[in-house]
Amino acid sequence: MKKWVFCLLVLLVLSYAFVKFKASDLSIIPLHKITLTEENSPTPTDRGFTIKVTQEQVYQGDLLLVNQDHPVPDQGPAEEAVSLAQHRELLQGFSVLDNTVRLSERLAGKLAEMVAAAGEDGVNHFLITSGYRDEQRQDELYRQMGAEYAMPAGYSEHNLGLSLDIGSSQAEMNVAPEGQWLKENAWRYGFVLRYPENKTAVTGIQYEPWHFRYVGLPHSAIMQKNDMVLEEYLDYLKDKQAVKVEVNGQTYQVFYFPVTDDGTIRVPAEGSYEISGNNRDGVVVTVHEE
Ligand SMILES: [Zn+2]
């Protein structure tokens, strides 16, 4: 064989392999319409704003950590939870087990948005079995079911009002299409699977394919990308102090600030912001650049 023919063949084989690799790479992208880029130390800037924070704010917001070491703060949930069965206008695309299932109107709205998206994918048998539980209800559950199944009153995320148990009317959640869809997509709507199978050592809670927690965007996206549960995510923010992230073409900067006393903090970014405590020692400020 002539040398140039051989070279041409090698080139053809290589370019075929390259194109094939790129194609399989690209075929993944449509599933992940949300792209993330992280920047751990943002470039110093004169831009920014100052906000007043109080110690109370450590115990308010969507990122509060509640587990066996961190009880629900004394003031309880910020929003009133209503019985969904008695507010049928809130039952959008899902059903409830009975009239004891309570959620805040805001959370019911977030849930409706998520299940509407699942419905477009043909997944539409969502059954909500539990939402907000007051401490009395939690106490009953703890006594009836025992420590294996329920946390003592004040230590369950359900007492915080930001968690819900989502089932399927078709099958157990670990095999139901509803469970699979949520596992892959809940983060796009601000929810996270709170007790995944591979994190029982971190959460101290067995795998619960039905228990979802609202943390909001972009936090759910960063947690999903980094395979982190809330315990790990709050540690990560504390360690990095600033994270920049792009989700669906929107840019967010997330900052952690320790709070020991009432005072002011300087946020080195511009845009609209949200603030949440971590229920431990500080606050997370999320700036949405506009
Ligand atoms: Zn639960």
| Domain boundaries, position 223 | 31-63+216-290
> How far is the C-alpha of 238 from the C-alpha of 259, rounded, in Å?
12
Q: How far, in Å, is the centroid of ligand 1 from the Cα of 158? A: 6
> How far is the C-alpha of 217 from the C-alpha of 187, rounded, in Å?
8
Q: How far, in Å, is the centroid of ligand 1 from the Cα of 208? A: 7
pLDDT at 273: 97
Q: What is the CATH number of the domain that holds 180?
A: 3.30.1380.10
Which residues are CB-neighbours of 134 under 8 A, at least 6 positions away?
Answer: 159
What's the mean pLDDT in 146-150?
Answer: 84
Tens digit of pLDDT for each residue in 59-101?
A: 999 999 999 999 999 877 778 999 999 999 999 999 999 999 9
Asked which of 15-24, 110-119, 191-200, 262-271 is least confident by mean pLDDT, the reply is 15-24
Q: Do 209 and 254 share a structural domain?
A: no
Q: Do 100 and 196 share a structural domain?
A: yes
> How far is the C-alpha of 184 from the C-alpha of 47, rounded, in Å?
37
Q: Is 208 a catalytic residue?
A: yes
**Residue 68 belongs to a domain:** no
Q: Rounded mean pLDDT of the chain?
A: 87
Cβ atoms of residues 268 and 285 within 8 Å = no
Q: How far, in Å, is the centroid of ligand 1 from the Cα of 26? A: 37
Q: Check pLDDT > 80 for residue 46.
A: no
Q: Do 109 and 206 share a structural domain?
A: yes
What's the mean pLDDT in 281-285?
Answer: 98
Q: Which of 80, 113, 140, 208 is catalytic?
A: 208
Q: Do 80 and 59 share a structural domain?
A: no
What angle in degrees, to the nearest 10, is found between the helix axes of 105-120 and 177-185?
Answer: 110
